[in-house]
Amino acid sequence: MTDNKHDRDQVVGNVDITRRTFLHKSLLTGGAVATGSAVGVFQTLSSMEIASAAMSEPFSFAWVSDTHLYPRELNQRFIDKTVRAFSEVQAMGDKFDFMVFGGDLAQLGHPVEIELGAELLQEVTIPKHFIPGEHDWYLDLGESWNKHFGETPWTFDHKGVRIIGVDSVGRAPDYWSARGMSNEERMAHMSGLDGSQAGPWSGLGSEQRQWLSSTLSDWPKDAPVIIFSHTPFYEYFPPWNFWIRDWREVQEILAPWQNVTNIHGHVHQPLYNEIGGMRSIGMLATSWPWPYAPEGVPELTRPMLRVDPGDHFDGVGWGNLAMNAEAHMEVEYMMWREQVFGVGRADSGTGDNVNQKLSPRISDRGWTGD
Amino acid sequence: MQSFKSKGLIAFISALLCVSLAFVFMVNRASAHKVSHDAETLKAFNDAFMEQVILGDELFHGATMEGINMSNTGMACAMCHPFSSDVHPHEYPKFQEQMSEFATLRDMINWCIEKPNEGEIIDPDGEAMKALEAYIYWSNRGSVLDPGRH
Ligand SMILES: [Fe+2]
Ligand SMILES: [Fe+2]
């Protein structure tokens, strides 16, 4: 098996090419790329080669997200991977202007988990910016999170780029009050990706959309914008909240800006899409990889190589991102393995789903047999 | 005539016996299919199935039951397999790369319990395994059988 892996790398060529995604359309389609079936709703741009008048002073930053920490005594493995990511970021600290933590620091939003996360985050001494994930939020509706990491949304300008962090998790329609759920029950329903009770919880909401609109209003239309969110800014797979429910309204707000990059977590997988004038990039988790959506991935996504479930350091990692001098994003998935992307269909982690038909779960729907 | 009559009677009694036994041992006897099923019977069959599906769904999503310990890491099956995706029950039996051997779905379930979850393997014919299998198949119903596929 090891020999086969080696052969595949030789076929692809330079290992750097398999690890690094330059987010130019020409380079994305330049190699032997395995794709899943495209999902029809995406309006895909023919090119993201934007003739941008605004050049950027190049800079790099790191992304870590989805550490999903449990209390120390329950799970050491997620701690080990979090520590590894933070120390690797710190070791390359000179290169990065800042680090973004992209949410799902905790598994069940417990103050003990959030405090453990805060403690581990001390390893990283470069400037840090935070956005919450749903796992951080629904035990106490953001109280512990905001206490440790401050409120979202936020914005700052950095080397010619307007940088924005939003909360795409904390504004769920209330699914708990009418059902009389305790805080723990509310969190439990939220913590299962495929649950039936928490509904379309991911979205910006009208207040935050207004904030986004006014935050961008003074920014030149050809100048680059980076927006960090926990969930993707388009409709990838709503049943797992691999979307924001108000993505159409958000697209409308962003439409006048020609160079918008959305960096998101939550999906625990490499993902790439272009929609409107925006590119959206899915990042790795440190904890574990989710499977790709049953319906397939956006056409522009290079799916990652199938994950070895016997190695818990496989299929996970963190992100090394850069805005280059042409104001294009570059992403390197810092995955703890040699080969990141699948080559052939059978290797891709999506090619296996051709005969698969799935149903949502039933036991959390209150089924009584009648 | 006599013998015909008595043969007929025996046949009649056997038929009666069969019908009543079929009701008594409905799920245990091959003769169960010799009577037509009314809606209530079919519902009872389905309820018996769905009960297992629901138990399996719970186990798959991290619940536990007496005598088993499927995980020591806080990991549940559904954390890698939401909607039981990427389980591909319709592709078993097959050569299973992780195990380096020809394997059934039950073999693979136990492999996941033992390796990634660091739990204790469950009885391959026990209650928990049957329930997990029921949930996984139910959740993947409609998938096209494709045994042996990698
Ligand atoms: Fe996550
Ligand atoms: Fe999440």
Same domain, B47 and B98: yes
Q: Which residue of A77, A308, A362 is in closest CB contact with B53?
A: A362
* B47 and B23 co-located in one domain: no
Among A165, A163, A172, A100, which Cα is nearest to A137's?
A172
CA dihedral B122, B127, B133, B136 (to 10 degrees): -100
Which two tokens mark B70? 């499927």
CA of A136 to the centre of ligand 2 (A): 9
pLDDT of residue B29: 53
Give the whole-angstrom CA distance, residue B90 versus residue B83.
Answer: 15
**Would B43 be classed as within a structural domain?**
yes
Tell me the CA–centroid distance for residue B93 and ligand 1, in Å: 32
Q: What is the ipTM of this complex?
A: 0.83
Distance from Cα A65 to the centre of ligand 2, integer Å = 9
Q: Which amino acid is at B17?
A: L
Q: Where is B130: in which H helix or E strand?
A: helix B127-139
Q: pLDDT tens digit string along A5-33?
A: 333 222 222 222 234 444 433 223 322 23
Write down the residue that tokens 């797979």 correspond to. Answer: A237
pLDDT of residue A9: 29
Residue B149 domain flag: no
Tell me B34's DSSP state: G
B67 & B104 share domain: yes
Count how many domains chain B has.
2
Alpha carbon distances (Å) from B27 to B18, B21, B127, B137: 14, 11, 17, 21
Closest CA of chain B from A51, distance in Å: 41
Give the CA dihedral A75, A80, A83, A84, nearest 10 degrees. -150
What CATH number is associated with residue B56?
1.10.760.10
Tokens of A232: 């993707």
Ligand nearest to the CA of A202: 2
Residue A317's DSSP bridge partners are A335
| Cα B34 to averaged position of ligand 2 atoms, centre (Å) | 53
Tell me the chain A residues in contact with residue B88 when contact means C-beta distances shorter than 8 Å. Answer: 352, 355-356
This prediction's pTM: 0.84
Same domain for B12 and B68, yes or no, is no
Do B46 and B26 belong to one domain?
Answer: no
In this complex, the residue of B55, B57, B74 whose CB is nearest that of residue A107 is B74
How far is the C-alpha of B84 from the C-alpha of B68, rounded, in Å?
20
The answer to whether position B29 is within a domain reads yes
* Nearest residue of chain A to residue B80 (CA atoms): A290
Is A227 exposed, middle or buried (CB count within 10 Å of its CB: 0-12, 13-18, 19+)?
buried
Helix/strand/coil (H/E/C) assignment for every residue in A336-368: CCCCCECCCHHHCCCHHHCCCCCCCCCHHHCCC
Same domain, B88 and B126: yes
Domain range spanning residue B130? Answer: 38-139
Answer whether residue B96 is part of any domain: yes
If one compares A12 and A95, the residue with the highest pLDDT of the two is: A95
Cβ < 5 A residues, ion ligand 1? A 66, 104
* Domains, chain A, ordered by start: 8-348 (3.60.21.10)
Residues of B in contact with A74 (CB under 8 A): 73-74
A180 pLDDT band (50/70/90 cuts)? very high
Give yes or no for residue B7 having a pLDDT over 60: no
Question: Residues A213, A202: contact at Cβ < 8 Å?
Answer: no
Among the listed ranges A201-210, A268-277, A349-358, B68-77, which one has the minimum average pLDDT value?
A: A349-358
Q: Same domain for B13 and B69?
A: no
